Amino acid sequence: DADVTQTPRNRITKTGKRIMLECSQTKGHDRMYWYRQDPGLGLRLIYYSFDVKDINKGEISDGYSVSRQAQAKFSLSLESAIPNQTALYFCATSDATPELFFGEGSRLTVL
Amino acid sequence: AQSVAQPEDQVNVAEGNPLTVKCTYSVSGNPYLFWYVQYPNRGLQFLLKYITGDNLVKGSYGFEAEFNKSQTSFHLKKPSALVSDSALYFCAVNSGNTPLVFGKGTRLSVIA
pLDDT digits (tens, 9 = 90+) for A10-62: 999 999 999 999 999 999 999 999 999 998 889 999 999 999 999 999 999 99
CA-angle at B41, arms to B39 and B43, nearest 5°: 65
Confidence of residue A77 (pLDDT cuts 50, 70, 90): very high
Element (H, E) at B66: strand B64-68
Tell me the sheet residues that pair with B19: B78
CA–CA separation, A43 and A105 (whole Å): 12
How far, in Å, are A39, A110, B9, B86, B102 from residue B12 at the CA level? 18, 33, 10, 9, 22
* Of the partner residues A41, A98, A102, the one whose CB lies closest to the CB of residue B44: A102
Check pLDDT > 90 for residue A2.
Answer: no
Buried b / exposed e over A18-40, threshold 16 CB at 10 Å, is: ebebbbbbeeebebbbbbbbeee
List B residues 12-51 in contact with A (Cβ-Cβ < 8 A). Answer: 32, 34, 36, 41-46, 49, 51
pLDDT digits (tens, 9 = 90+) for B61-89: 999 999 999 999 999 999 999 999 999 99
The predicted pLDDT at position A1 comes to: 62
Q: Is B51 helix (H, G, I), strand (E, B) or coil?
A: coil
Check pLDDT > 70 for residue B91.
Answer: yes
The predicted pLDDT at position A60 comes to: 96
Report, as an integer, the average pLDDT of A60-88.
96
Instruction: Answer whether A52 touches B (CB < 8 Å).
Output: no
Report, as an integer, the average pLDDT of B6-18.
97
Check pLDDT > 70 for residue B28.
Answer: yes
| Pairing, β B87-94 against β B106-111 | antiparallel
Q: Please report residues of A whose CB lies closer than 8 A to that of B98.
A: 98
